[in-house]
Amino acid sequence: MNRADLLCIVTMLHLILASQSPRRRELIRLLNYPFSSMAANADEESITHPNPAANVVHTAQLKAAIIAAQLPPPQAPTMIVAADTCVTLDGQMLNKPADEADARRMLTALRGREHEVHTGVVLLDPASGQTVTAVHTAIVTMRAYSDVEISAYVATQDPLDKAGAYAIQHPVFAPVARLDGCYLGVVGLSVCQLLTLLAQFNVPLRADLDAATAAHKGFPCPLLADLRAA
């Protein structure tokens, strides 16, 4: 790709986030490319792969395909970004809780224990159909929060739209004692992983890595360390 082509991408590239999640919208801003967001309305229950890491990638691919089918022929460089996250404990996927009782059950099961968070990311060029995918798995250790803390957190309703019934970024409950992996992936979109996928399309890096570091809230990220070293 010559310099003129790179300049065209830098000035014209538009990202479409296959999600209306406020968390993912906030994270994708770290890329410093203009973006819009669309709800994919995917039937996530239709993805039944038994491997959680594969399941999140397949679900993200479904979301990207749904958005691509809705778009008119692109008039400028466009990329669709889709992601999906799941929490697994003892090999079992913990999805969004059905109700408050289910949220309490999940949080009690996770308390003081180590589990995995898988985040699949898909980048789709709707003009060519080219797709690249990746999955990041973080190992998360929860702190030994009390039953009273669980009840107070569930009462906020925050757990009800979260896989595994918790948000790592919650400022009061603060459930995580240790994290091995990308903090942003646990939040819902590994921007660090996404930057490596954009590089496969020769998209220039515009992200402020200092801002990305700050967004990790003090948790070191191996993916971000690799980006800084590159």
* Catalytic residue IDs: 84
Question: Counting every residue, how long is the chain?
Answer: 230
**Treating both helix axes as pointing N-terminal to C-terminal, what angle do 100-110 and 147-155 enclose, rounded to 10 degrees?**
140
Residue pair 24/17 in contact by the 8 Å Cβ criterion: yes
Q: How far is CA 11 from CA 44, 59, 81, 130, in A?
A: 35, 31, 18, 21
Would you state the structure tokens that stand for residue 151, as one six-digit string? 């009840």
Question: Going by C-beta distance under 8 Å and a sequence separation of 6 or more, which residues neighbour residue 74?
Answer: 126, 127
- Of 135, 120, 130, give the one whose Cα is nearest residue 77: 130
